[in-house]
Amino acid sequence: MNKNEKKALISFLSIYVGSIVLLVGLLLSLYYKNELNSVSQQCTMLMKNASNEIKAHILNSYMKKEKLKPLDFKNKDIKYALFDKNKKLIFSNMGNKDEVILNQKNYETSEYTYYVTEIEDDNILVKYIAIQTCSGVQNKDKLKVIMITILILTSIFVAIIACLLAKLLLKPVREKVESMDNFIKDTAHELNTPISVLMTSVSMLKKGKNPEKMMKYIVSSSKQISQLYNDIHFSTFSNLDESVEESFCLKQLVSNSVEYFNDISITKNISIKSELEPTKVKADKNKIQKIVNNLISNAIKYSHNDSEIIVRLKDAVFSVEDFGIGIDKKQQEDIFKRYKRGENSEGGFGIGLDIVKRVAKDYDLNIELKSKINQGSTFYIYLQNILVDVDKREF
């Protein structure tokens, strides 16, 4: 992963994880406030019930004229203190009775929650009942721990999911970048050969050595560069071009292409033979030209030196047969994909057959490939869908 990819990944994770954590934090904050109120209400209700129970016990003892005995609660978190009307302590089992404030009904310290009530009877010695409990504070602390734990676990979970998503999202981008990097490298490599031949031929021509042969090499190199440029331009901008449908003689078009590529194949001493019959079709001439040119160009690239290529146009089927390296069955499934190439030291952009497939798809033309390793390959294009009625042929 390069520096830019790391930077993009960090930015994505920061925004994604940050926004999710912020949203979860906001929801947890609202939930925490609601639960906090619930805990406070439960605690107040618990102390109020305890206060009422103590008050009832005091009144009962007064009416029976019995000595007041301390009341024990099953809930050991409940402690209480009794004060007279002068706020003098009568009884207390509290942990910290000094924190009791009798003029406040319900309040909380860092450790305890207090609830104070009065007995409205001057004949009774006890005037104030103060209830103390730590359960409210403890429950609030537990609630805080739970909220923080949930936030941390959510952050970790979201971060893991974000990393997985980032990898899934960056994978096709990374593959695209790698494909483009390979494409650029292949461009330099593919252009290197015709440009080198062109420069060498011009140099030799200036010296007057083999002018006829050098001119053939110059023509061949120039046509190779032109073909490469046309493929790149068509592959990149073909969606912008409007199709111009017309009826034309495909035999003449193929014948011109064979003549054109004979000047290119000269560098590998490959002869291109043609077996053509008159065939009239209706389509965009430029696009059909791309099919013909790329199949012939592809055959030249993957043919051995001193071999031959046979171009046929018969019974509404256009085919190009070479006797080169062949294509493995596994590769045959991917060979028409952009930037996919066969095993060949000469490389190639991997866009030629992609162009063929795109044009064939536009006109719903079937493509067939027959190939054997080290024996050669034959590409078939079935033209029935663009064929002009044979009874109305005009050549």
Fold classification of 3-148 (topology level): Beta-Lactamase (3.30.450)
What is the number of other CB atoms lying within 10 angstroms of the CB of residue 344? 12
User: For residue 248, what pLDDT is reported?
Assistant: 93
Structure token digits, residue 214: 């050098």
- pTM of the complete model: 0.51
Q: Taking the domains of the chain in order of start, what are their residue ranges?
A: 3-148, 242-392
Q: How far apart are CA 319 and CA 304, in angstroms?
A: 19
Homologous superfamily assigned to 242-392: Histidine kinase-like ATPase, C-terminal domain (3.30.565.10)
Mean pLDDT of the chain: 82
CA atoms of 273 and 266, how far apart (whole Å): 13
Residue type, 288: I
Pick the range with the lowest mean pLDDT from 16-30, 176-190, 269-283, 349-363: 176-190
Question: Does position 295 have pLDDT exceeding 80, yes or no?
Answer: yes
pLDDT at 274: 94
Residue with tokens 């993009």: 8
> What pLDDT does residue 312 have?
95
Q: Mind listing the pLDDT tens digit for each residue in 226-265?
A: 777 776 766 666 554 567 889 999 999 999 889 888 888 8
Would you place residue 392 in the very low, low, confident or very high pLDDT band (cuts 50, 70, 90)? very low
pLDDT by residue (tens digit) across 164-197? 887 787 777 777 777 677 667 666 666 766 777 6
Using the predicted structure, report yes or no on whether residue 141 has a pLDDT greater than 50.
Answer: yes
pLDDT, greater one: 174 or 343? 174
8 Å CB contact between 42 and 113: no
| Model confidence band, residue 268 (pLDDT cutoffs 50, 70, 90) | confident
Is it the case that residue 144 has pLDDT exceeding 60? yes
Name the token pair of 342. Answer: 């066969």
Q: Give me the mean pLDDT over the 271-299 stretch.
A: 91
The residue that leads in pLDDT, 394 or 294, is 294
SS3 content of the chain, % helix, strand, coil (to 5): 55, 15, 25
Which residues, other chains included, contact 156 with Cβ-Cβ below 8 Å and sequence gap of 6+?
A: none
Dist. CA 252–CA 250, nearest whole Å: 5
CA distances from 120 to 91, 116, 126 (A): 19, 13, 10
- Which of 161-165, 372-376, 379-383 comes out lowest in average pLDDT? 161-165
Give the model's pLDDT for residue 247. 93
pLDDT at res. 231: 66
Q: What is the pLDDT of residues 99-129, one digit of tens each?
A: 788 888 888 888 888 899 998 888 888 899 9
- Candidates 188, 199, 224; CA nearest to 301 is 224
Q: Which of 227, 231, 246, 334 is nearest to 284 (CA)?
A: 246
176 neighbors 339 (Cβ within 8 angstroms): no
303 three-class SS:
coil
Q: Helix (H, G, I), strand (E, B), or coil: what is residue 271?
A: strand
In this structure, are residues 21 and 153 in contact, taking their beta carbons and an 8 Å threshold?
Answer: no
- Token look-up 């430029």 returns 286
Percent of the chain with pLDDT over 70: 85
pLDDT > 90 in the chain, percent:
19
Of 5-19, 105-119, 289-303, the least confident: 5-19
Contact indicator for 102, 87 with CB cutoff of 8 Å: yes
